[in-house]
Structures are given as C-alpha cells and as structure tokens.
Structure 1
Amino acid sequence: MTDKIANDPRASIRNAFADAREFTTSPLYRSLARVVAEDDALLDLAARGRAGQYPTFLFFGAVHHVLLSGVDHPLAAFFPSRVADPAPAEGQAAGAALRSFCAAYEWELTSLISSRLVQTNQVQRSLALRYGLATLLPETDGTPVHLIEVGASAGLNLGYDRYGYTVGAQRFGNPDSPVQLAAELLGDGPLPDLDTLPKVASVLGVDLNPIDIRDVEDRRWLEALIWPENHDQRRLFSAASELIAADAPPIRAGDAAVVLPELAASLPAGEPRVVYHSGTRMHVPAHHLDAFDAGIESLGADGPLWWLSLEDAPDPALPRSSDRFGAALNLRGPDGERRTLAVVDGHLRWVEPMPW
C-alpha cells in the first residue's frame, strides 16, 4: 500500500479529498469529497488549479459556480443553495450525479479551476481588522494610517467601517447598516473599544486577481465559495456586496512581493502604515513565502509598520479560558515584536481577547 501511494502522481490531491476535514459545516462536501478521492478522472480535473490553491476549495467552488448559473442537472437536487429540500448526499446517487455533472461540464469546470483563485471574502473577518485597528490606536499617537489589505479579493473586509457589530453584549459600528455581524465573547480578557479607531489616510487592496463585485460572474464566484449549507453567510455576503458595490475601495492587481515594495516607495515618509491579511498566506506556494513576507516587510522601510494577520493556529501556551479550536489574530509592531491580540473562530463567530 505504501509503495502504491508513493508511486501515485495524484497522491497529494487524493489525500486532500480523502481527509477533507476543513468542511466543518458542509456534510455535502465531506460526502462528495470521498467520491472525488476514489475517482481518478475527478482528481485529474481537481489538479488543474494553480500552485498553492487548496484543491478541495477550488474544485467545489467551480462545481458550485456552474450550478449557481442555473444549469439543469440532477446534481442540483443535493445542493441546499439550489433547492429547498435537498436530497441526502450519502449513497451512490450523489456520487453518480457528481461524475455525470463533471463529464457534462468539463470545459466550464476546467476554465474555472485553471483561472480562478480561492478568494473567499468572509465578511465577518472585517471584525478582526476593526479589532486590530482599535488595539493599535494608542501606538499611532493619533496620526492617520495608510491601510493595505493583501488578498483583498473584492474588498469586502475594507468596508469594516460600514458595518454594525455585536460582540457579546456590546454593540459597535453602524447600527443601521444592512450588514450586522455578531460574535460570541469568550474569556475575561479586555475587549478594546471598537468604536475608537485611528483615522485613515488612504485605503488600498492588493490581490493577484481582483474581484469586481459589480460584475455578475465575479460575484457569483465569491458566492460559489460559500458552502451550500451556509445560508446565513450567503445573506451576509449579498448584503455586503450591495453595500460595497456602491463605493468599492481601490484594489491593485499583482503579486504582493512585487506590488508592496512599489507601494512602499510611494507612501509619504514617516507616516504609519497598517497591512492586514486573513486566510491569504495559506494559499501562497511554499517556495514563494519568503518573497511574500519580504514584500510586506518592505512597507516598513520608510515608516512605522503594523502587521496584522489572521492565518496561524494559536500558541498552545496562551492563557486561554477556552479549548475551542481557533485562529490567532496576531499583530507585529514597528519594534518587530509580535503578540496575539485574540483567539477567534476562523469565521469570527466567537472572539476570545488575550489579556495583554
């Protein structure tokens, strides 16, 4: 068995689908992933994505995108995003429908998988950005900051100042916004005042393949990356898309390793800058990680840089009151010291402030 796996050119892709534990709230995708893992033709289709892209996210995003276009195929009967009473995905029928669908729409799926990127704009992650900005306010002495998001996709997170927030029993932001985000508050660490934020001198997103939220196909791609069962997430995405489309932030296309040094040279010397990325670095190919990090560090060459990220698992040594699995909201200041501001659910359903 070991020799068979070692000689299998599809092994890494197969393993990703065989153990698709990332689909925590999608029984449909977990079931269909096992079908893909056992089918060489489906694995070859899934392998047509760019280096660094998660094959499970990309493959099912492409399948979902085609289904959301309204095509008439038996596979739609298993998707809660297409039908009100979906058929159970366990059993041979769902697998047969997936194989038939991929054969029928191979050209469309190949086009999406080979050209698109996993660019999930979790609107809730704007809470992480707002949290970080509120935390660093005392360190900037009230000087307006230049805000850059790497992996901005359609820029929905950059609309952090247009949304309303409820964290525990406390409310922040715009109470009249059509986008209202809620997070459970864990532990007894201090929650910063999320209504006391630094002024912003400029805002810019950077993305390998920017999404135009006003474009029907681009918006459908982002919707397709939302798992079929996640109706609440889809409603949030729809509301945020309408809000941001009316006044979208500027987003520059390009590789952060190239774009950020150029941007750094254009910023006024000495003025503070904040860079934010969430679920972005995880998609950078391993051989390019050093260049990605160097691009971000270049922003601090001629002015103080605060580096805010939501990417890594938390340090087990953190003084936590909860054992929930989450991600670390990390902030590295101009002095190079990195600290964890909070441990959060990956989709910001809960927040546990750290007592720093």
Structure 2
Amino acid sequence: MTTTADWYVDFADRQARGSSPTYERLTREIARDDELLALLDTVPEPKRQPNLLLAVVRLLGGPVENHPAFRSYVVTRWAAVATELRRRATQTNEIGRSALLLPVLAELPQPLALLEVGASAGLNLYLDRYSYDYDGVRLGTSGPVLPCHLTGRTPPTALPTVTWRAGLDLNPLDITDADDRAWLEALIWPEHDHRRDRLRAAAEIAAADPPRLVRGDLVDDLPALAAEAPADATLVVFHTSVLYQVPADRRAAFIALTVTLPGHWLAAEDPEVTGHPGRPADGLHKNVLSLDGRPLAWTEGHGRSMSWF
C-alpha cells in the first residue's frame, strides 16, 4: 500500500529532482515529518498530493524555502490550509505541454476542432497562437516561445489550423479573474520564472479572446459539447495530466466513451493511469503521449522534452 510519505518521496525523486531543488528538499522533509503526514491524512487522498499542498501554502502566503518555516506555517494554520486543499485542484494549465501536442495535431486532417478535457483556464486551446523551438527549429511568429527537446522524429513544419475550440472542466478557471490567476501562478514551482512569464503571456492571448469553457463532467457532459463542433473540422478531444485526479471507474468510463466519438483522442498522461508498462530509462517521472490509445512518446510533464518510441 502506498502511503502519503511514499507519495512525497516519489515526487522528490521523480518530479522535483533536477527541476526544483526547493521542492525536492521540502518534500523529502515532509515525508519524514510524522505530524505533517498525520494532518495530511485527515483530508481525502486526492487532496494530499504534494503539488497541491505546496501550491496552497504559496497561495496563502506561506514559506516553502525551508522545512522549519513551512512546518510551522502549516501546523499553526492547518484549518485554513485544509480548507483550501479541499476546495482546490491541481489545475496547472502548463502551456509548455502544447509543444508535446503540436507534432500530432499538425499531421491530422485540417482544420481542427479542439476540445480539451480538464481545461483549467483553457490556455492550451490556443496552441496555434504560440511559437515553438524544437532544438533550434522554430515554428510560429507570435505569443510565448515554447522550447522542447525532441528525439525520435522530425519537428512539425506547420502550425495547425483551428476553427473551433472549447474546454470542459469541473471547475473552469477564468483567466481574467484575479483569484483564478493567483491560483495558476501559485501552481508554478519557485524556480520556474520562465513558466510564470509564459503563463502571463498566454493569459493575455486568452483574455483578448476568451475561450468557451463549460463546467461539467468528463463522462456525462462530453458528448453534448463534442456535438457542437463543426462537422467540417476534425474533432480532437485532448487532455494532459488530468486522469490521475479522476477515480478509476470514471476514468474507465471516459476512455470507453472516447472511442464512440468522431475524430481523435489525444492524451499525455501518467503511464500508470493509462496502463502503459515500464518507466523511462532516466527513472524520472514521464507521461505517455498517445493518439487514439496508441502510445507514441515519453513526455516531460511541463513540456520540456519528448522522446518518440
């Protein structure tokens, strides 16, 4: 049985290592702190996840630079921390993941109708308005530049043409709302100033042309929203780092539903969630990019790299 301590050690080893020294140190200390672990075990399991706790403390103005200060803050303000843990979800909306989706989307029949499940504020719905750098191969002339180290295939040569875009989320975020913007920024790791800058640039694009975001369930409400897509466009239902937050039975129902919809299903998800065997050679946490259930590549969670199978 995986414990809360195991979860924090795994986060330190496979996600924060080599990416956020602050979070790597802190989550290792949390994994050894019996009092903090006992507090975390009083909230539902999905609400104990490391990234959620760390973001909530940052949102509330608490310190994450060292364990003693973090520990004191969480223990003395646990009621407020627990309230936010129960209220919030990890809705990172990392636009770097657009660089992972682009090679597949650029090769599908154009134009596209994009429908993102777990859309957060919908920033990845604007991937045709960003620019990309695949190891020196540049694509696009507007918006933030998203670098991605790509191995195993050639970079895409053109941006997709998007004629319709919509998002579905249990709690969609409004990019023009100050509280929602603050939550998105709190989810960005301390050392990742480049991600914060990209978020702000993408927010300006979305705010100028707000996306259609529907509050709803990924099983119950997906068919009706998909039916709104124009018939002369290729529908692509996509999601990134979403399914790990969905209960197993609903996850299975969603995957079964995708094969009944027209168009394609594109996902970048944890291999344990999608049933892909094995781990990448470097031992770090990687997601699997798949199209219509067929695995294509290992992908870094924030879009920094992808390695084609």
Structure 1 length-normalised TM = 0.75
The reply to whether residue 193 of structure 1 matches residue 160 of structure 2 is no
- 4+ runs of 1 displaced by more than 6 Å? 314-317
Aligned pair partner of 1:23 in 13, 16, 19 = 16
Larger Rg over CA atoms: 1
Deviation of 1:185 after TM superposition, in Å, equals 3.1
Report what 1:257 is aligned to.
219
What letter is aligned with 2:291? L
**Structure 1 residue runs without a partner (length 5+):** 1-5, 79-88, 333-337
CA distance in 2, matches of 1:28, 1:128: 26
Greater CA deviation, 146-155 or 226-235?
226-235
Is the 8 Å Cα contact of residues 257 and 294 (structure 1) preserved in structure 2?
no
Q: Cα–Cα, structure 1 residues 32 and 160, in superposed 2: closer, same or farther, change >3 Å?
A: same
Give the Cα–Cα distance (whole angstroms) in 1 for the partners of residues 56 and 186 of structure 2. Answer: 7
Matches of 1:312 and 1:103 in 2, distance apart? 31
* 1:126 alignment partner, one of 98, 111, 124: 98
Residues 176 and 207 in structure 2, CA contact (< 8 A), matched pair in contact too: yes
Aligned AA (2:263): L
Which stretch shows the higher mean deviation, 210-219 or 14-23? 14-23
Residues 206 and 224 from structure 1, CA distance in 2 versus in 1: closer, same or farther, beyond 3 angstroms? same
Q: Which amino acid in 2 is paired with 1:185? A: L
Please give the secondary structure, in 1, of the residue aligned with 2:264: strand
The verdict on how the C-alpha distance between 1:267 and 1:50 changes in structure 2, with shifts beyond 3 A counting, is: farther
* Residue correspondence of structure 1 range 168-317 to structure 2 within 5 A: 168-174=135-141, 176-177=142-143, 179-187=144-152, 189-195=153-159, 197=160, 199-267=161-229, 272-298=234-260, 300=261, 304-313=262-271
The 5-angstrom pairing of residues 149-160 of structure 1 reads 149-160=116-127
Aligned counterpart for 1:167 among listed residues 134, 143, 148 = 134
Contact 2:4/2:48, CA 8 A, preserved across alignment:
no
What is the number of equivalent residue pairs in this alignment? 302
Cα distance in 2 for partners of 1:237, 1:288 equals 30
| 1:102 Cα deviation after fit | 1.4
Cα deviation for residue 30 of structure 1 reads: 2.6
Q: Please state if 1:57 is matched with 2:15.
A: no
Superposed, which structure 2 residues align to 1:343-354 within 5 Å? 343-353=298-308
CA RMSD of aligned residues (A): 2.9
In the superposition, relative to structure 1, how do residues 265 and 242 fare at CA in structure 2: closer, same or farther (>3 Å)?
A: closer
> Equivalents in 2 of 1:18, 1:327: separation in Å?
18
For residues 53 and 307 of structure 1, the distance between their equivalents in structure 2, rounded to whole angstroms, comes to 28
Paired letter, 1:156 = L
- 1:339 matched to 2:294: yes
Query: What CA distance in whole angstroms lies between the structure 1 residues aligned with 2:49 and 2:282?
Result: 29
Q: Matched residue of 1:288: which SS?
A: helix
Q: 1:98 aligns with which of 70, 77, 85?
A: 70
